[in-house]
Amino acid sequence: MDLIRKIELEQMRLDVPKFKAGDTVKVFLRILEGEKERIQVFQGAVLRLRKGGANSTFTVRKVSDGVGVERIFPIHSPFIERVEVVSEGKVRRSRLYYLRKLKGKASRIKIKNQWDN
Amino acid sequence: MARTMGILGRKLGMTRIFGDDGAIVPVTVIQAGPCPVIAVRKTDTDGYEALQLGFDEIPERKLNKPSKGHQSKAGRGCYRVLREIRLDAPSELAPGQDVTVDIFAVGDQVKVTGTSIGKGFQGVMKRWNFSGLNKTHGAEKVHRSGGSIGHNTEPGKVMKNKKMAGHMGARRVTVINLDIVDVRPEDNLILVRGQIPGAANSVVMIRKQK
């Protein structure tokens, strides 16, 4: 198993910031259009982090024009230019699937204050 | 089919890596070789061309006398697994020389032979993908049965090769046209795209496609 772990370590990126479910993040995505490359930003709340070495993923949810949009990103994918943590959220669970049923004011996540720790 | 050069290896397991274009590629990691040539089969003496390779070194005390005598001729220690790789043309390798993962290159296509995971005695639904019988409408005790297995007085027998319940898995399986994603001679590793037969740590034979 060690050799597989070694291969996975090579695949992992070390520049990914730490974030948790409930945090609001900006994901800067590399988009290839023909020859050109541009950056697209996807901003939303992290619903879940799926841990698994190089195979780790995270789900980001945002509401765009009243329609909920969720995207799952591999954390170590080369398509991600960088991830920026906008704010840390104060939540009590690690899987925020309940947000899918909430709308408007109810779907807000409390922001974690610096002095809460 | 062309008989091509191959090597013996151990399936370590699966993972996924990012390809050149950034897309995720599922790979099976195989630790292969280095396999010493234990014996060479020649058309003159044996009627066919082949290399006998050894894999998985073990202490001498684990072998019985006949196999010890056979393996000592190559002078490369004792091996648990001996397999012959059939070839079309005589090989220039002599007993005692090594076959390593260097015979493969990234982009090559290979076929991998192994023993599939044993499933034990299985019913027709799992073994042959039958649909089974009704869950309701009065069906009783036969929900996963195959139904009728034949006809009437004529022909008065069950046809040969009728698909029925029985032992499944644990047989020799070859998967062809697998792409080699990476070769790492420093760890004797081969990364093959997709799945190969067998459980982790089982011995597999990797041969070139052409």
Q: Output the pTM of the full model.
A: 0.82
- Give the separation between CA A89 and CA A108, rounded to whole angstroms: 10
Residue for token pair 């648990």: B80
Candidates B22, B24, B29; nearest CB to A7: B29
pLDDT digits (tens, 9 = 90+) for B20-47: 888 889 999 999 878 899 888 888 888 8
Q: Which residues, at least 6 apart from A47, have a Cβ–Cβ distance to it below 8 Å?
A: A21, A59, A60, A61, A70, A95, A96, A97, A99
Provide the pLDDT for residue B46: 87
Tens-digit pLDDT profile for residues A73-116: 999 988 888 899 988 888 899 999 999 998 888 888 888 777 76
Interface touch B189/A3, C-beta < 8 Å: yes
How far does Cα A66 stand from its chain's mean position?
20
Eight-state DSSP code of residue A66: T
Domains detected in chain B: 1-32+103-138+163-210 (2.40.30.10), 35-99 (3.30.160.810)
Instruction: Indicate if the pLDDT at residue B147 is higher than 80.
Output: yes
Q: Which pLDDT belongs to residue A116?
A: 60
pLDDT at B192 over 80: yes
Q: Is the dihedral of CA B101, B102, B105, B111 positive or negative?
A: negative
Residue A117 above 70 pLDDT? Answer: no
Q: Contacts of residue B12 in chain A, CB cutoff 8 Å?
A: 1, 3-4
Closest CA to A72 of A59, A89, A53: A59
Rounded mean pLDDT of B97-114?
A: 89
Q: Say which of B13, B17, B187 has its CB closest to residue A11.
A: B17
CB B177 within 8 A of CB B109: yes
Report the share of chain B in percent with pLDDT over 70: 100
Q: Of B175, B193, B36, B180, nearest to B116 (Cα)?
A: B175
Q: Is the pLDDT of residue A8 over 90?
A: no
Mean pLDDT of A1-12: 84
Q: What is the mean pLDDT of residues B96-117?
A: 89
Which ranges of chain A does DSSP label H, i.e. alpha helix? Answer: 2-11
Mean pLDDT over residues B160-179, rounded? 93
Backbone angles phi, psi at B159, to 5 degrees: -60, 150
At A14, list the tokens.
């070390």
* Residue among A6, A30, A74 whose CB faces B24 most closely: A74
Chain centre distance of CA B203: 7
CA angle, corner B143, sides to B140 and B145, nearest 5? 110
Tell me the two tokens of residue B56: 């998985």
Task: Give the type of residue at A18.
Answer: K
Non-local (6+) Cβ contacts of B119 within 8 A are B126, B127, B167, B168, B169, B170
Mean pLDDT of chain A: 87
The answer to whether A71 touches A52, Cβ cutoff 8 Å, is: no
Contact status of A14 with chain B (Cβ, < 8 Å): no
ipTM: 0.75
Closest CA to A71 of A63, A56, A79, A61: A61
Asked whether the beta carbons of B84 and B65 are under 8 A apart, the reply is: no
